[in-house]
Structure 1
Amino acid sequence: MSQVHASGNPSPAGAETKTGRFAGHVALVTGGGSGIGAAVARQLAAEGCVAVHVADRDELGARQVADRVGGHAHVVDVTDPVAVDAVVEAVLAEHGRIDVLVHTAGVDDPDAKSRILHAQESGEPVDVLCHLDDAAWRRVLSINLDGTFHVLRAAVRAMRPRGTGAIVTVGSSASFDTLTGYPHYAASKAGVHALSQAVAKEAIAFGIRVNTVAPGPVDTPMAGRTPAAVRTAMAESGVLGYASAEELADNICYLASPGASNVVGAVLLSNGGRFTV
């Protein structure tokens, strides 16, 4: 899909004199039009980024977040490698570099959640696998896992010439403590963890750090589509209940910051005390 730039100030006056952990940095956030990605974009801007590029499949969401942070909006489908490369190339053409890339784009499966709810209400066993068709499987894997591959590849290619950069991907605690009836989501996020860690070992030789945050339930628009009874059960599975998008942004920005300069290939659990590994 083609890129779209938001209206607003591409280089706010005095931006080079900003202070904070990301002072003078150029950042790109995929999935930045809502939820965790939007919270990350806001925090990066608040902590000194000279430019924040917000990429999302939802043009309106991307524009609204970009306008709020004085940044730039792009429309992108992360399942399309050409579109991902085009967004990264657009940022490079404008700034000559990408210092931070945060990849939050991802999906769940409302139909599977409905089947989980039915089992919860009826007392019957969860029956998702036998009804999971190839299209539903491919949708989740293509966005969550293939999309992460496309973004990681483009980001490392962009950062490698300068020998520096930080990338943070978003996995899920569901890949460790799998939710019954969610095989495709768990598999996709386990793949994100393994992919990110493998890339981390390779990319650090070129000065690029790659890390992952693995959230438990987070209060985002995607979580808002979870049936209320399922949502309540998930909230009760941990000591702290649902996290906020801002709490996850704190975790992500730590991993992207100079304060995590010795952290490479980590999968940071942010799951409200549900389990440890």
Structure 2
Amino acid sequence: MSLTAGQGRFEGAVALVTGGGSGIGAAVAAQLVGEGASRVYVADIAAENVRRRHGDDPTMISRVDVSDPEAVDAVMAEILAAEGRLDVVVHAAGVDDPESKKIITDAAAAGTPIDLTANLTDAQWRRVMSVNLDGTFHVVRSAVRAMKPKGGAIVVIGSSSAFDTLIGYPHYAASKAAVHAFCQAVAKEVVAFGIRLNLVAPGPTETGMAARTPEELKVQWVNNTPVPYATSDEIADNVLFLASEQARNVVGAVLLSNRGRFTV
């Protein structure tokens, strides 16, 4: 009989969760602990968030900016030195752009066209790309190096916005679409080393990022029914499935988790 959620699917595992101080990453870390992981390393640029969220769990906390490849490699080296292996990596670190969200909201309220791309700064573009895309490259590359001797599972948090793009949010959508393509290409390569790489593409989810989304942008409908936001735990359920042996035949998948807002 196969194991289900809550039955110790990760008994004795060593895991790393980036962006684990809040939202989806924090929910993933907590669920890994609850399902028997012997050690969960939690990396977040806001280390204090991690300490407040995880307390005395069997976690090791590091302040890591995923846009810094040396910092990412350092935490991987720390894990291997302490544990001798790394079984699961969940990359949940990412950023949005609150300035762009305000422009979208103001235009909607005024009934005027959204005019963002012409005014998008290089700094705004680079911030989103350096964390979302470059950060994914740094984490996945380092995880592959760590896992090649023994195999493992990597799950990356993408976004449904890569498919259902939001007007006025081109840099975020582009970063996540690139993350999907990068990870699917890597997945085909690293399966030869016993490494499974998959993605979860959440729709709107109740996280700190969502809290910065103006209310006017939140309500969407499917078949005349309002679609509620997912909880972080619901997305974490999907992540743990892909990281577990229950998904041993799943490689390079992008799992849509958006309550049917759209399909591809």
User: What is the TM-score normalised by the length of structure 1?
Assistant: 0.90
Report percent identity of matched pairs.
Answer: 60
| In 2, Cα distance between equivalents of 1:236 and 1:140 | 28
Aligned pairs (5 A) from 1:73-92: 73-92=61-80
Does structure 1 residue 269 correspond to structure 2 residue 252? no
Q: Is the 8 A contact 2:199 2:253 kept in 1?
A: yes
Q: Secondary structure at the match of 2:196?
A: strand
1:145 corresponds to 2:139: no
AA of the residue aligned to 1:77: D
* Structure 1, unpaired ranges of 5+: 1-17
Residue of structure 2 equivalent to 1:128: 116
Counterparts of 1:66 and 1:206 in 2: how far apart (Å)? Answer: 32
Q: Give the distance between the partners of 1:245 and 1:223, measured in 2 at CA.
A: 11
Q: What is the CA–CA distance in structure 2 between the aligned matches of 1:20 and 1:59, rounded to whole Å?
A: 27
5+ residue gaps, structure 2, are 1-5
Distance 1:259 1:240 in 2: 29
Distance 2:22 2:35 in 1: 19
**Mapped contact 1:44–1:52 kept (Cα < 8 A):** yes
User: Are 2:240 and 1:253 equivalent residues in the alignment?
Assistant: yes
Find the aligned partners of 2:177 and 2:194 in 1 and give their Cα distance.
Answer: 25
**Cα distance in structure 2, aligned partners of 1:87 and 1:66:** 18
**Does structure 1 residue 27 correspond to structure 2 residue 11?**
no
Corresponding position: 1:119 with 2:94: no
CA distance in 1, matches of 2:241, 2:56: 22
Q: For residue 53 of structure 1, what is the aligned residue in structure 2?
A: 41
Q: CA deviation digits over 1:145-189, x for unaligned, max 9?
A: 000000000000000012x10000011000101000000000000
2:26 counterpart residue number: 38
Note the 1:180-199 alignment, pairs <5 A. 180-199=167-186
- Whether 2:97 is the aligned partner of 1:109: answer yes
- Is this contact kept in 2: 1:41–1:65, CA < 8 A? no
What RMSD, in angstroms, separates the aligned Cα atoms of the two structures? 1.4
One-letter amino acid of the structure 2 residue matched with residue 261 of structure 1: R
Question: Displacement, 1:65?
Answer: 3.2
Are the structure 2 counterparts of residues 59 and 132 from structure 1 closer, same or farther at C-alpha, using a change threshold of 3 Å? same
